[in-house]
Amino acid sequence: MEKIIDSVTIVGGGAAGWITAGVIAAKHRLKRNFKLRLIESPDMPTIGVGEGTWPTMRLTLKAMGVSEYDFLRACDASFKQGTKFVGWVTGASDDVYYHPFTAPQGFQQAKIARHWLEDGRGRSFCEATSVQVHFCEHNLGPKKLGMPEYSCVANHAYHLDAGKFSQFLKRHCIDKLGVEYISDNVTKVNVAQNGDIASVSTEHHGEIEGDIFIDCTGFRSILLGGHYGVDFIDCSEVLFIDRALAAQVPYENENTPILSQTLSTAQEAGWIWDIGLANRRGVGHVYSSRHQGDARAEEILLQYLSETASGPDKVELRSIKFRPGHRAQFWRNNCVAVGMSSGFLEPLEASALVMVELLAKDIAEQLPATRGLMDIVSKRFNQKFLHYWNRIIDFLKLHYVLTQRSQNAFWRDNCDPATIPESLREQLKIWQYNIPSSLDSHLREEIFSAASVQYILYGMGFKTDIRRYPKVEAATEFAQEQFNEVQKNIDRFTPMMPTNRDLLNHIRANP
């Protein structure tokens, strides 16, 4: 009889390691003999950035048994309802569009975009179809005061302090979910006859065994990259950004509004993120080193801070280099990589932590019962996540290819067809005549929904030719009702929604 798989060893204790531990423990910890260990180096720090998440994080935390309000308080977290893109189309002063988290009003029932394309009545696509844009413009929170944990009026995610988040999850996983914690450095990988990892050697705890090893060692990727030498697929010819300068910025005062969205402002050779946490802002400039030197990148960030903060002289800048890309495989033998050990691309749509959540859930759900099943499970896993990486690359690139900014080489090069993946070029041709729909993909669920694609496409001024969609009176009436509904919701909800800051103050003051 084959041995049942009942021991998982995670190496690395950043957000990836602890999310993976929490997701697997929540699902499997009650099984007899199930062992889940996490080894974390006491010497190598976590990356400590990564402040934007997706609404999926609500379900992930809830499934782990985390109290939403404990999490918000411990991680200085705030509510995020989408992203506001400034200057991405023309760079003019009124160049703004949103990618909100709620789907366009009526999206499930009809091709609302068809009617907006025909007669937008002077409103942008996101304004016409989502109440959330109004919430964000007025710094309103997504839930009413006193609402229960994890319930809300508007779909939302969080902005959080990455360092505090790892520490919070660590305590939760150890204290509440029974994860065994080993603080030590992994120094060597010991191999079984079939090429699997039999154990890892540590400095002070000897050899640690496992049926499955999960590599959460960040950019080091010591198991999948270092030990197995799995190829790294470099994406820098498509997505050029490979440098970040990050800063933590105090609020002007305790009444300064807390943004309800990530602010993403286009720059000469990249963009600046601006995120409002409960206690400070997180601001960073990501740029392409091929198109801009470090000194100019710093100058641009300091200029932005001087225009938006109390003064740049108080701020420390942290520089991070990365190579955009991902591994060719994510699961080899009995080793799976989760987090930055599996790849990383610019944080434009905060796709890193959601990939951690998806990978962790898939591992927990598909955990092979025996070693004999593992090769089947890993083959499917690799196909699925390779597809997701390619969709992320296409979706991020979509933000660049429709720009009219031509004054800088960075933006011009982004529009060069040679830098656009064939899959995206084909899809753009189809979208010239077809409104993005869930049928664009063969998967039941894509990483980026058709609603998200519509927000970017039409936010950037793309025009789908709607002649193939006949004008039907009932459909036109329905669409009009949806546009009216957005306005009704604005009128109904605005008076009862607290600001993001008031909501957070209330939660922090009422444990």
Ligand X SMILES: Cc1cc2nc3c(=O)[nH]c(=O)nc-3n(C[C@H](O)[C@H](O)[C@H](O)COP(=O)(O)OP(=O)(O)OC[C@H]3O[C@@H](n4cnc5c(N)ncnc54)[C@H](O)[C@@H]3O)c2cc1C
Q: Identify which range of 227-235, 347-355, 466-474, 498-506 contacts ligand X by CB under 6 A.
A: 347-355
Closer of 19 and 112 to ligand X (Cβ): 19
Stretch that binds ligand X, among 39-47, 247-255, 437-445, 483-491 (CB under 6 A): 39-47
Query: Which residue of 22, 23, 41, 115 would you call a contact of ligand X, by CB under 6 A?
Result: 41
CA distance 128 to 484: 9
How many residues belong to the site for ligand X (CB under 6 A)? 38
Q: Which of 9, 46, 130, 464 binds ligand X (CB under 6 A)?
A: 46
| 5 vs 222, beta carbon nearer ligand X | 222
Q: Judged by CB under 6 A, which of 233, 317, 320, 328 binds ligand X?
A: 320
Q: Give the number of residues written for the chain.
A: 511
329 in contact with ligand X (CB under 6 A): no
Instruction: Give residue 178's region: left, alpha or beta (phi > 0; psi -120 to 50).
Output: left
Contact 85, 396 (CB under 8 A): no
Binding mask 172-191 for ligand X (x = CB under 6 A): -------------xx-----
Per CB under 6 A, the segment of 79-87, 333-341, 365-373, 488-496 that binds ligand X is 333-341
CA distance 112 to 247: 40
Q: Are the beta carbons of 53 and 350 closer than 8 angstroms?
A: yes
State the nearest-atom distance from the C-beta of 274 to ligand X, in Å. 11
Per CB under 6 A, 353 contacts ligand X: yes
Amino acid in position 130? S
In this chain, which stretch among 15-23, 251-259, 395-403, 409-417 interacts with ligand X, using CB under 6 A?
A: 15-23
Please state, as a whole number, how many other Cβ atoms lie within 10 Å of the Cβ of residue 170: 19
Residue 308 in tokens? 């938006």
- Choose the binding region for ligand X from 90-98, 211-219, 422-430, 451-459 (rule: CB under 6 A): 211-219
Question: Per residue in 87-105, is it b (16+ CB within 10 Å) or e — as a string?
Answer: bbbebeeebbbbbbbbbbb
Rg (CA), the chain: 23
Letter for the amino acid at 119?
D
Residues 422-481 that bind ligand X (CB under 6 A): none
Exposed, middle or buried: residue 493 (CB in 10 Å: 0-12, 13-18, 19+)?
A: middle
Shortest Å, Cβ 228 to ligand X: 15
Residue 208 parent element (H or E): strand 207-209
Q: Minimal distance in Å, beta carbon 320 to ligand X?
A: 5
Q: Which is nearer to ligand X, 15 or 258 (CB)?
A: 15
| Torsion angle (degrees, nearest 10) of CA 140, 102, 347, 426 | -150
CA of 428: how far to CAs of 120, 313, 358, 421, 438, in Å? 22, 45, 27, 11, 15
* Site membership for ligand X, residue 289 (CB under 6 A): no
Angstrom distance (rounded) from CA 111 to CA 454: 11
Contact between 11 and ligand X (CB under 6 A)?
A: yes
Closer to ligand X by Cβ: residue 352 or 420: 352
Around Cβ 243, how many Cβ atoms within 10 Å?
21
The reply on whether position 265 binds ligand X by CB under 6 A is: no
Compute, in degrees rounded to 10, the torsion defined by CA atoms 488, 493, 499, 504: -140
Per rule CB under 6 A, is residue 245 in the interface with ligand X? no
Interface with ligand X (CB under 6 A), residue from 104, 347, 368, 436? 347
Structural contact between residues 479 and 115, judged by C-beta atoms closer than 8 angstroms? yes
Q: Which of 8, 9, 10, 14 binds ligand X (CB under 6 A)?
A: 14
Q: Does residue 44 interact with ligand X by CB under 6 A? A: yes
For residue 293, the minimal CB distance to ligand X (Å) is: 18
Write down the least CB distance from residue 396 to ligand X, Å.
Answer: 13
DSSP reduced 3-state for 35: strand
Q: Which stretch binds ligand X (CB under 6 A): 8-16, 112-120, 138-146, 481-489?
A: 8-16
Which of the stretches 37-45, 57-65, 109-117, 402-410 binds ligand X when contact is defined by CB under 6 A?
Answer: 37-45
CB 401 within 8 A of CB 414: yes
Tokens of 147: 């609402």
49 binds ligand X (CB under 6 A): yes
Q: Which of 350, 402, 466, 507 is in the footprint of ligand X by CB under 6 A?
A: 350
Q: Using CB under 6 A, which of the segments 30-38, 41-49, 86-94, 393-401 binds ligand X?
A: 41-49
Distance in Å from the first CA to the final CA of the chain: 52
List Cα–Cα distances, 22 to 74, 243, 365, in angstroms: 17, 31, 13
Interface with ligand X (CB under 6 A): 11-17, 39-41, 44, 46-47, 49-53, 162, 185-186, 216-218, 220, 222, 244, 246, 284, 320, 322, 339-341, 347, 350, 352-353
